[in-house]
Structure 1
Amino acid sequence: MTAPFLNLEPLFDLHIKLRKEVEQVGSTPEGLRIHLFVDEGECVGPKVRGRLRRGGGDWFVLRPDGVGLLNVRCTIETHDGALIFGEHLGLLEFGERGYERFLSGQRSASLPGKVAARYHTGGAQYGWLNRAVCAASVQADLQRLEVDYRMYLLA
């Protein structure tokens, strides 16, 4: 028996602006822990449209090998009033010497990444998201504190 192939269906593009206030916990055994919080965001796509509510964020760890571990929680308020809670886990590529560059104050304007995402909602019109697994390509700009996602539904 062989598993079926996965198809990627465009779900939405997400543009996030992060708050300038960053919570730097510091160096831990896992790496440098930094908490970044959502200031505002816009979600535009064929299946979901809306805005990000404040209060979400990324409980981020930058490992010494230059890999950033994304741990994002956010709430989308759709154009028709539903609330969708999102969980994004993934990786952001800082490069081989990215850890040292970040510690010295250098903030990159172009960091690629990828996430796996799950969404949860009580909104009947979006109930199908409760059964969905999604994936996204990510581009982060740490100079401007902005992040862009291109999110797909795995079908």
Structure 2
Amino acid sequence: MRHLSAPSLSFLADMELTVEGAHLPGKTPIGNRRVIRVTGGSLQGEKLIAEVVPGGDDWITVREDGTIIQDVRILLKTDDEALILMTYRGIRTGEPEVLKRLDHNEEVDPDEYYFRTSPVFETASPKYDWLNRRLFVSKGIRLPGKVNYSIYTVD
């Protein structure tokens, strides 16, 4: 069996999402659910600049241990008018007291918790077709009223 070296990462963009307070449908058979409306934001990188079209959602499942599983769908509009669908699954977890501070909308040092996502982009734009053919990962930070991500291409 051949062992391959680990892939490297290249910076794609920083993204900031502004969000509403959580809608709380409650505990379902899947888990404790939250739905958070994405009200706007932006994505800034050397090869990609876009605004977040208001109206996306983050459908969250909160596990018994407080770990959050994200299921996010947003729409990006680039500075040259292309539309890009962006979805991602993510996980945010940490010590119970840290998760409680995050739930209370406090600013918490990102080194105190684990927050990663796996974005997928989809577009009809020939200029941005390369997004359809790459894998991406990101590291996130939860801030009061917003979420920031640094997104990387897996090379």
Structure-1-length-normalised TM-score: 0.87
- Counterpart position of 1:114: 116
**For the structure 1 residues 64 and 97, does the alpha-carbon distance in structure 2 shift closer, same or farther, using more than 3 Å as the test?**
farther
Percent of aligned pairs with the same amino acid? 24
- Counterpart position of 1:7: 8
Q: CA RMSD in A?
A: 1.9
For residues 2-31 of structure 1, the C-alpha deviation after alignment (integer angstroms, 9 at most, x for no partner) is 3343111111100111024x3211022443
Distance in 1 separating the partners of 2:140 and 2:7: 20
Distance in 2 separating the partners of 1:125 and 1:65: 43
- Counterpart position of 1:63: 63
Distance in 1 separating the partners of 2:142 and 2:127: 31
For residues 64-104 of structure 1, the C-alpha deviation after alignment (integer angstroms, 9 at most, x for no partner) is 212110111111101111111111111112533567x48xx
- Counterpart position of 2:150: 150
Structure-2-length-normalised TM-score: 0.87
Corresponding residue SS for 1:129: helix
Do 2:105 and 2:145's aligned partners in 1 also have CA atoms closer than 8 Å?
A: no
Range moving further from structure 2, 131-140 or 109-118: 109-118
Distance in 2 separating the partners of 1:97 and 1:129: 38
In the alignment, does 2:128 pair up with 1:126?
yes
Stretches of structure 2 lacking an aligned partner (at least 5 in a row): none
How many residue pairs get matched?
Answer: 149
Stretches of structure 1 lacking an aligned partner (at least 5 in a row): none
The residue type paired with residue 105 of structure 2 is R
**For the structure 1 residues 37 and 94, does the alpha-carbon distance in structure 2 shift closer, same or farther, using more than 3 Å as the test?**
farther
The residue type paired with residue 36 of structure 2 is L
The residue type paired with residue 11 of structure 1 is L
